[in-house]
Amino acid sequence: MSLKPLNIQTKLLNAPTAKPLFPVKIKDAKGNEIDLANPKATRSLLALMDLAAVNGGAACHWGGPSAMTETWTALHGIMFKHADWYNHFNFVNDIGHAENGIYALRAVLGFGDLSIETLKGFRSLNSKLTGHGESHLYPEGVLLSNGPLASAFPQAQGLAVADKVLGNQRVTVCSLSDGAAMEGEAKEAMSAIPGLAQAGKINPFVLLLSDNNTKLSGRIDKDAFSMEPSFKAFKTLGWKVVEVEDAHDLEKVYQVLEKCIEDAKSNAKKPVCIWLKTIKGYGIKATAEATTGGHGFPLKAYDEKIHDFLKELWGDEEVPAEFTAWANELTVKPEKKSSGVAKEKIQVGISKGLIRAVKAGYPVFSISSDLQGSTGTSAFQSEFKEHSLDMGVAESNMISTAIGMSKAGFIPVVDTFAAFGVTKGNLPLIMSSLSQAPVIAVFSHTGFQDAADGASHQSLTYMSALASVPHLNIVNLSTSREADEYIYQAVEKIAKDREAGLDGESYIFFLGRENFVSENKEGLDYSLHQAQKLTEGRDVAIVATGSVVPKALKAAELLSQEGISATVINHPFVNNTDYTQIASWIKNSSCKVVTVEDHQMIAGMGAQLTHQLKLLGVEFDLISHAVKGEFGQSAYTADELYEKHKLDELSIVRSARELAQKKTKNINVLLGLVEEKFGINKDEAIKKLEDIIHLIEASEIKDKATKTAGMLFNTAHSILDQVKSKIQK
C-alpha cells in the first residue's frame, strides 16, 4: 500500500529575493562571484540585540553564535538560492543557544520581517524571537524547536527518513556543537544515521559539527575529557568526514559546504560530517581567548563599551551608521530603581550546606554537567576539587554515574537545570531508587525563572515528572537558608539511613534563578518534611511552593490592607510532607485555600496537596493558580510571565478575596468549620448541625404561633368592639 503523509503546508517563508543589506563578495569553487551576508554586520546585530535584551534584564548568548556565523552565512547563501529553499533543504539547528545568530544573519539577508526593528524585541515577551528557536511561536523561521542540546539533531534524522520514504530529493543539514555531541542522544544519532544510510533508509544528510573545544563553563578537554576520539570515530561509523581547519574563512567554508552537499546528494549512503574548527566568541579578542568563549554576552546593561565592541568587529572599516545609532540608543541609562530589600541567589545556600556536610565528615561528591556555575554547586567544587567530577554536557550519564558512586557508599550530588534534569534524568532517577542508590540532585531554573531562555528551558513539569517516583523526595526551595538547611539534613539523613542498613531516599532540590530574600521570616522551623507557616490569618490560606512563595507573601500583605487575614504556607516538601499539619492550618483559615505554583496545574503541587487533604477528610473551598496547559516563552524577567499566567500577587489577591468574601456553598466545608470551631469529630458536628436545625424549627413554630395568636387576639378585639357598639345603639 502506498504511504501518503498528511497534507501539511509548510509555514516557513520563502528566501529573500534582494541582495543582502550588508553584502560581502566571495568566489565559489568555479570562480563565480557570490554576494553573502557580511559576517561583521551579523555579529554587530548580534551584539546589539543582545545588549537590548540585557538592558531589559535578560541574559544572552554571544560566543556560540559567533562561532557559527561564517558557516551559517555560507549555508544560507547556498540554501537561499532557491526561493522555496525548504523544498530542497531541511535545515535543523541543534545549537539552540546560538539561534540569535540565525536571527541576526537573516535580518542582514532581509528574510521575512526581520530587521533592526524586529531584532530590538529579541527575548522580550512580545517577540517571536525567543531565546532559543521556537517553532510554536515562530514557525515562519524555525522548523524544529531547539534549546536542549542534542534534541534537534536526532529529530533531523526523522525528517531525512521521511524524505526517503516519500522519495523527496531534499537534503537534511543539521548544525551541532561539540558540547551537544557529548549527549547520549547525539551519540545514538551519530551511529544510526550512517547505519540507516548504508541500509538505504535515509535521505542525504550533512552534519555541520562545530568543534571549538569549549562548552559553557570552560574547555571541554581540560574540564571533562577530549572529544577528539569521538569525532575521529565518525569515519569508522560510516560518515564521510571533511575537516575545515579554519571555519571563519567564509569563502573556504562556502566552497566546502557546496561540495559536501553535492556529494551527499550524489551518494546518500554516505552522510557527510563537516568537522569545522570554530572559535567561540570569534570577532572579539577577549571572548575568543576566554576559556568560556564569552558564552554569555560579555557587556553589562547600557554599557558604553558597545561602541568599542562594534569598532573591534569592523576593524579598519567604518562602523555602519545604523549600528552606531542603535548603540547610542542602547547606552541611554534610565534612572536606577532599588527595591531596598537585600536579596541573593538560593544557589548560595546549596554550596554552603554541602561544604558544611563535608566538613562534618560526610562523603559528598559533586558531579556536574556544565551548569555548576548556575545551579549553585561551583563554590563547593572550588573548595573540594577532589570531591568533584565534570561529565561534560551529559545529564543522563551524570545521574547514572552518581548511582554507581552512591552504591559504593558516597553521597553524590548532581546538578543541572530542571528542564534537563527531570527529562534526561527521569529514567536514571527511577533506577536510582530501584537500585537502593539514593542521590541528591540540584535542579535549578525551575518554571518561569529561566525567563529569557524561553519555553524549552522553562520546566513546567518538574514536580509532576518526579513526584511519583518511589523513595524520592521533592524539595522546592524559596530561600538560600532553606537550601543550606535542607541539603545538609538530606545528606545527614541519607548517611544515617544507609549506615543503619536502610535503603535511604533521594532528595531532589528545585530552585529558581533570580534573587530572593535569604530567609522568609526569622525563627522558622527547618525540619525536613515540614511545611512552614509564614503568616497567620483566619480568612484564607495561601499555599505556595518554591519561587512563587514571595508572591504569596506579598499578596497576604496586600490583603491585610483590606482587612482580610491570610495564612501563608510555604510548602517545600511537595510529595512527602506532614499533611496533617497543613490540614490544621487550613482549617484555622476558614477552610478556604488558594494554591500557587510555577508549574502546570495538572499533577502539580496543588493537585498533589489537595488530593492528600481530601484523603485526610479535610473539606475546603479552592482556587488554584498554576499554568493551564501552555508552554512558556521568552521574557526579560520571570515577573512578566508570572503576570501573564496569573501567578502574580494581584491575581492571588483577587482569588483570596473572592474566597474570603464568599459564603461557602459546600456543606462539607461547613461541617469542617463546625468541627474546627467546637473541637469535635465529624459525627458530632453533624449532630450539632441537626440540633441547630431543630432549634431553628422550634423557634420558627413559636414565631408562627405568636403571630397567629396575635391575629386571633386582634380579631377577637374587633368582634368585641362591634358587639359593644351594637349593644350601645
Where do contacts with ligand TPP occur on this chain (CB under 6 A)?
Answer: 63-64, 67, 96-98, 147-149, 177-180, 210, 212, 214-216, 280, 293, 370-371, 393, 420
Distance from C-alpha of 497 to C-alpha of 505, rounded to nearest angstrom:
8
Give me the residue label for grid cell 387576639. 713
Distance from C-alpha of 75 to C-alpha of 64, rounded to nearest angstrom:
17
Give me the residue label for grid cell 488558594. 594
344-345 and 240-244 beta bridge pairing: unpaired
- Biggest CA–CA distance in the chain, Å, is 139
Cell readout for 12 is 516557513
Which among 179, 176, 175 has a CA at the least distance from the CA of 216?
A: 179
Q: Which is nearer to ligand TPP, 368 or 479 (CB)?
A: 368
Cell readout for 200 is 538505504
The amino acid at residue 663 is K
Q: Which is nearer to ligand TPP, 387 or 445 (CB)?
A: 445
- The nearest distance, CB 501 to ligand TPP, in angstroms, is 37
Q: Which is nearer to ligand TPP, 175 or 520 (CB)?
A: 175
- The nearest distance, CB 451 to ligand TPP, in angstroms, is 15
Distance from C-alpha of 91 to C-alpha of 117, rounded to nearest angstrom:
25
- The nearest distance, CB 181 to ligand TPP, in angstroms, is 8
The amino acid at residue 386 is E
Distance from C-alpha of 559 to C-alpha of 649, rounded to nearest angstrom:
10
Distances in Å between the Cα of 362 and the Cα atoms of 255, 412, 493, 695, 710 are 58, 11, 11, 66, 86
- The nearest distance, CB 424 to ligand TPP, in angstroms, is 6
Cell readout for 702 is 413559636
- The nearest distance, CB 292 to ligand TPP, in angstroms, is 8
Spell out the SS3 assignment of 29-75: CCCCEEEEECHHHHHHHHHHHHHHHHHHCCCCECHHHHHHHHHHHHH
Q: Report the b/e string of 264-289 with b at 16+ CB within 10 A.
A: bbeebebbbbbbbbbbbbbbbeebbe
Q: Report the b/e string of 681-712 with b at 16+ CB within 10 A.
A: eeeebeebeeeeeeeeeeeeeeeeeeeeeeee
**What is the 8-class DSSP label of residue 341?**
S
Q: Which is nearer to ligand TPP, 461 or 479 (CB)?
A: 461
- The nearest distance, CB 502 to ligand TPP, in angstroms, is 33
Q: Which is nearer to ligand TPP, 97 or 187 (CB)?
A: 97
Q: Which is nearer to ligand TPP, 81 or 222 (CB)?
A: 222
Q: Which is nearer to ligand TPP, 69 or 532 (CB)?
A: 69
**What is the 8-class DSSP label of residue 449?**
G
- The nearest distance, CB 503 to ligand TPP, in angstroms, is 30
Which among 581, 535, 528 has a CA at the least distance from the CA of 554?
A: 535
Q: Which is nearer to ligand TPP, 444 or 567 (CB)?
A: 444
Cell readout for 649 is 500577587
Spell out the SS3 assignment of 497-523: HHHCCCCCCEEEEECCCCEECCCCCCC
- The nearest distance, CB 396 to ligand TPP, in angstroms, is 9
- The nearest distance, CB 74 to ligand TPP, in angstroms, is 17
Cell readout for 196 is 540507516
Residue 606 near residue 626, CB atoms below 8 Å: yes
- The nearest distance, CB 113 to ligand TPP, in angstroms, is 27
- The nearest distance, CB 212 to ligand TPP, in angstroms, is 5
Residue facing ligand TPP at closest CB distance: 179
Strands of 592-600's sheet in order across: 532-535, 566-570, 540-544, 592-600, 621-627
**How far, rounded to the nearest angstrom, does the alpha carbon of residue 214 sit from its chain's CA centroid?**
23
- The nearest distance, CB 535 to ligand TPP, in angstroms, is 37
Q: Report the b/e string of 75-86 with b at 16+ CB within 10 A.
A: bbbbbbeeeebb
Residue 51 near residue 57, CB atoms below 8 Å: no
Residue 46 near residue 73, CB atoms below 8 Å: no
Q: Which is nearer to ligand TPP, 99 or 484 (CB)?
A: 99
- The nearest distance, CB 146 to ligand TPP, in angstroms, is 9
- The nearest distance, CB 97 to ligand TPP, in angstroms, is 4
- The nearest distance, CB 270 to ligand TPP, in angstroms, is 26
- The nearest distance, CB 506 to ligand TPP, in angstroms, is 20
Number of residues that make up the chain? 729
566-570 and 344-345 beta bridge pairing: unpaired
